[in-house]
Amino acid sequence: MTKLATNPALVALLGILTGSAVGLFWFWRTAAVLVQQAIESRPAPVVAEGKDHGWDFWTIEIDGLAAELKDEKARLRQQADALNQRSARLDSEQQELAKVRAEIEGMRTEINRKVIEITADESKNLKGLAQTYSTLSPKGAVAIFKEMDDTTAVKILSLMKSDVVGPIFEEMARTVGPEGPLAKRAAILSEKLRLMKASKTTAS
């Protein structure tokens, strides 16, 4: 043992081995610390867009499908708007049609009110009166018609000949009644008489 301690070569070898072992120990210890620090300082992985709802992939095909769905949604919205506009237009046209129909019914009612007809049970008496008044002078006939309502007067005048009715209207236009000249009433009777004859012609 004393010989080994006094041998310089052996002492040098032991020193080299001991230093190498100590160096390796500190090297591995330092390396482990550096590796741990590197792991802790590494940034978290970035999740790609489209993977947040269970998706683990996102491709060009999916982008195309999403674009098609978006276009289809826009097309359906346009169709819905067009249908709403058409429905509103139809409602407006129906209201206008109903208004026109009401106006036509009103005109028909007014025409029926103005048109005078002779019923079968009064025809005989009216014909007798027409014959009687036809023999009177225009002035005498006007005096009677002046006291008569328009409906009865028109019925009698319709049964008289035109060459008799003409002079009666002329005389009426020259006659002054309680409310002024009878020319206005002559015009009213003439118009009602025209409507009555037109109604008879249409019916026949």
CA–CA gap between residue 127 and residue 133 (Å, rounded): 10
pLDDT at residue 67, as a whole number:
83
What is the pLDDT, as a whole number, of residue 168?
A: 93
Q: Which residue has the tokens 């491709």?
A: 59
Say what the pLDDT of residue 50 is: 47
Least confident of 39-43, 51-55, 144-148, 185-189: 51-55
End-to-end CA distance of the chain: give it in Å, rounded: 162
| Residue type at position 76 | L
3-state secondary structure of 176: strand
Kindly report, residue by residue over 38-84, the tens digit of the pLDDT.
666 665 555 445 444 455 556 777 877 888 888 888 889 888 989 88
Asked if pLDDT for residue 131 goes beyond 90, the answer is yes
Per-residue pLDDT of 73-119, as tens digits, reads 888 988 898 988 888 888 888 888 888 777 777 665 665 555 566 67
- The domain limits of the chain are 59-114, 120-203
> Which uninterrupted H or E stretch holds 181?
strand 180-181
The reply to whether the predicted model has a pTM over 0.75 is no
What is the chain's alpha carbon radius of gyration, rounded to the nearest angstrom? 60
- Is pLDDT of 187 > 70? yes
In DSSP terms, 20 is beta-bridged to: none
pLDDT digits (tens, 9 = 90+) for 1-29: 545 455 666 656 666 767 666 666 666 66
